[in-house]
Amino acid sequence: MSEFVMSIGGESVSAKETFGVVNPATGEVFERAPECARDQLDAAFESARRAFATWRSDEGDRRKALLGIADVLMASAGELAPIITAEQGKPLTDANMEIFGAAIWCQYFANLETAPEVIQDDDSALVQVVRRPLGVIAAITPWNFPLLLAFWKIAPALLAGNTVVIKPSPFTPLSTLKVVELLQAALPAGVVNAVSGGDLLGAQMTSHPVPRKISFTGSVETGKKVALAAAPDLKRVTLELGGNDPAIVLDDADPVVVGKAIFSGAFSNNGQICSAIKRVYVPDSLYDEVVEVLADCAAAVKVGDGTDSESQLGPINNLPQFERVKELVADALNNGATAVTGGGAMDRPGYFFEPTILSGLSDGTRIVDEEQFGPALPVVKYHSLDDAIVRSNATNFGLSGSVWGTDVVRASAVASQLECGTAWINTHLGLAPSQPFGGCKWSGLGVENGKWGLSEFTEVQAFYQSRTADGTNPLMALLVE
């Protein structure tokens, strides 16, 4: 029996089966989560479907509810942050920031303007474009930011008038279960339901007849399965998938300033950010200096248990991901790369990996070409800037990228050539609730955040009120003459 419960139709619900949740700082199971049964999933979707009929009707109530959710999040930070740290691994400070970030997202959407757009207002007609909710949303999230990414979906979905069934990653189910349980006091029954389980539960959600949209964040591989599962029922999908973000350093950059900033853009959340810097291109003239600054940062950063207030980075979240980072780093070292600092797992329990800077490697090495999603960064030398731009774009990924240099006009001109959803100049990971976030190519379909993200939880309706005496449309009359 777990103290963590699912929320279905406003009720706290346990399950016959449970699964273990591992603390990545120890590698041991520390808690259990309910394994949602098929009939419980059906009940969650049915309760969301019933709640939709009322929830869609009053936008003012929905805005108030979103502000109430933000209050619950902030008031519960003391309870939620240790849960995030225990199941995800990140330091408590970062867990708190994640919770306050989720609250800020709710407040932003609570206040986002949604007025209909008037496209014609004359003697013949008043024509408006209105946005209607889709119905029930199936939300599926990954393990790197379990709460923040949940509210990137829940907040806009609710404002638009939809109801939600959310399934967190089986590696980090507890914080989502707890927060949705706490939200039940602030929301009508069935508006937000949380279920927990493995990948099979995700697949059952995407093929379920009730949801009209799947909002998914996770890997490219799973994203493609979600798109396939959605197709027979033409469910709408938003897919936020993986990335292999390049950072291009220009030859007029200050290596110390840029090296430190790139370290932060690559190693925040222990490198487990879809849009973290995953490979760095540096010109010959600055290569050694930038590598040295990055290596100094990596050697100085304090890695440890997230409950230790000294820790700046925690462990990698889960065993498969830990094994993957180990494999990619070992492959690079076997293929001629040098670990200027780090290079392997730390000699302690849990999934701790040394912050690693790799030099002397190029495209064609797995860790440059694939998404490592962990604390290891390849630094690649370039001779020609045009070539660096071509190599940056020579990938199926297209989430984000950054360009670093003193001449901002030149850096912007280079950034404009990056094929990605977000192009940063002299920074990386600059995100805001008002800013659309999404990927090109295999990094995703659609965007989250801002008015663009909100619109993905709606469908457009042309709302046409005739003002002619006989209901004729002058333009159509002209065309059929």
Footprint of ligand NAD on this chain (CB under 6 A)? 140-144, 149, 167, 169-170, 199, 202-203, 206, 217-219, 222, 225-226, 240-243, 274, 371, 373, 399, 439, 444
Closest distance to ligand NAD from the beta carbon of 339 (Å):
23
State which residue, 202 or 342, has the beta carbon closest to ligand NAD: 202
Helix segments in 301-384, DSSP class H: 319-334, 366-369
**52 versus 145: smaller Cβ distance to ligand NAD:** 145
- Cβ proximity to ligand NAD: between 125 and 230 the closer is 230
Selecting among 240, 354, 371, 448, the annotated active-site residue is 240
Pick the closer one to ligand NAD by CB: 140 or 420.
140
Q: Which residue, 328 or 411, has its beta carbon nearer to ligand NAD?
A: 328
Quick one: CA dihedral 275, 279, 285, 287, positive or negative? positive
Residue 477: exposed, middle, or buried by beta-carbon count in 10 A (0-12, 13-18, 19+)? exposed
What's the closest the beta carbon of residue 220 comes to ligand NAD, in angstroms?
6
Q: How far apart are CA 41 and CA 19, in angstroms?
A: 16
274 belongs to the catalytic site: yes
User: What's the CA gap between 108 and 124, in Å, rounded?
Assistant: 38
CB of 302 to ligand NAD, least distance (A): 24
| CA torsion through residues 178, 220, 368, 291, sign | negative
Looking at beta carbons only, is 202 or 283 nearer to ligand NAD? 202
Of the candidates 227, 237, 268, 261, the one whose C-alpha atom is nearest the C-alpha of residue 247 is 261
Which is nearer to ligand NAD, 55 or 442 (by Cβ)? Answer: 442
What span, in angstroms and rounded, lies between the C-alpha atoms of 127 and 463?
A: 6
CB of 207 to ligand NAD, least distance (A): 8
Please say whether the beta carbons of 8 and 34 come within 8 A: no
User: C-beta of 194: minimal distance to ligand NAD in Å?
Assistant: 12
How does DSSP classify residue 335? T
Q: How far is the CB of 307 from ligand NAD (least distance, A)?
A: 23
**Residues 401/420, Cβ–Cβ less than 8 Å:** yes
71, 84, 79, 99: which is closest to 183 by C-alpha?
A: 71
Q: Whose CB is nearest to ligand NAD?
A: 202
Respond yes or no: is residue 46 known to be catalytic.
no
Q: Looking at beta carbons only, is 65 or 106 nearer to ligand NAD? A: 106
Neighbour-count burial of 386, counting CB atoms closer than 10 A to its CB (0-12 exposed, 13-18 middle, 19+ buried): exposed
Catalytic member of 274, 297, 420, 440:
274
For residue 238, give the nearest of 210, 272, 200, 211 by alpha carbon: 211
Q: How far is CA 383 from CA 254, 283, 409, in A?
A: 18, 6, 21
Angstrom distance (rounded) from CA 58 to CA 421? 34
The residue type of 448 is E
The DSSP code sequence of 137-192 is EEEE--SSSHHHHHHHHHHHHHHHT-EEEEE--TTS-HHHHHHHHHHGGGS-TTSE
Provide, rounded to whole angstroms, the least separation between the CB of residue 6 and ligand NAD.
Answer: 14
Q: How far is the CB of 240 from ligand NAD (least distance, A)?
A: 3
The residues carrying an active-site annotation are: 240, 274
